[in-house]
Amino acid sequence: MRKGKPEFTETESGEEPADIPSATDEAAFLAYQDKRRSEHKPLRPSDHAYNGRVAHLFGTAIPGLPIDADPPQTRLPLTPFSQVIEQTLKRLRVNASPFLDALADNWPRILPPEIAAATRPGRWDAAKRILYVHVATHTRLFELRRTALPQIEAAVRAFAKDTPIRHIQLTVETIGDK
């Protein structure tokens, strides 16, 4: 008797062994179809979701090529790491934003000195993509809204190339904002 792997033997017809299916089809990958049917139970919502992903996989498969476990057509798009950090901080109820911190550090550099001295970035609402910029008084707010708002928007959008900003809102700074 020989030790190690058994020798390879083909079946009599010269095809693959009988226990390995020659072609894979969508029905072979569906979730619990036969088991649920034999138990007279309906499929769960998670089974329907899984079956939908199987149908999507077989819809994007190229005939004749092996099915990739993670084909590029079914991969989720990459999420920027800054967005992951902000979502995590929000879930932990930590009132911080890496984008806002970087913007506050570079605020005097990206704006003219007279505008940077009168304003400061106050709050970033990532869900609505709104940046709130604080101003000290109502009269200064009115003046900046009329004269400097387009300049502030252009400077902030140029600084935040990866972060989409929908709107910049000038507000009067209150005691609780600091």
Task: Please answer whether residues 157 and 129 qualify as being in contact, where contact means their C-beta atoms are separated by less than 8 angstroms.
Answer: no
Q: What is the pTM of this model?
A: 0.48
* 121 in the same domain as 101: yes
* 61 in the same domain as 120: no
Percentage of the residues of the chain whose pLDDT score is greater than 70: 73
* 173 in the same domain as 100: yes
Final residue belonging to a domain, choices 56, 74, 92: 74
To 10 degrees, what angle do helices 98-110 and 81-91 make?
A: 120
* 101 in the same domain as 39: no
* 96 in the same domain as 46: no
- Note whether residue 12 is domain-resident: no
Structure tokens, 120: 């400061």
* 50 in the same domain as 113: no
**3-state SS record for 151-167:** HHHHHHHHHCCCCCCCE
Sheet holding 130-135, edge to edge: 119-125, 130-135, 167-172
**Greater model confidence, 101 or 5:** 101
The CATH code of the domain that includes 99 is: 3.30.300.180
* 134 in the same domain as 69: no
Domain that holds residue 31: 26-74
The pLDDT-based confidence of 24 (bands split at 50, 70, 90) is: low
Min mean pLDDT across 19-23, 90-94, 101-105, 112-116 is at 19-23
* 125 in the same domain as 91: yes
- Note whether residue 3 is domain-resident: no
- Note whether residue 14 is domain-resident: no
How many domains, in total, are found in the chain? 2
The residues pairing with 119 across neighbouring beta strands, listed in sequence order, are 135
Q: Taking all residues of the chain, what is their mean pLDDT, rounded to a whole number?
A: 79
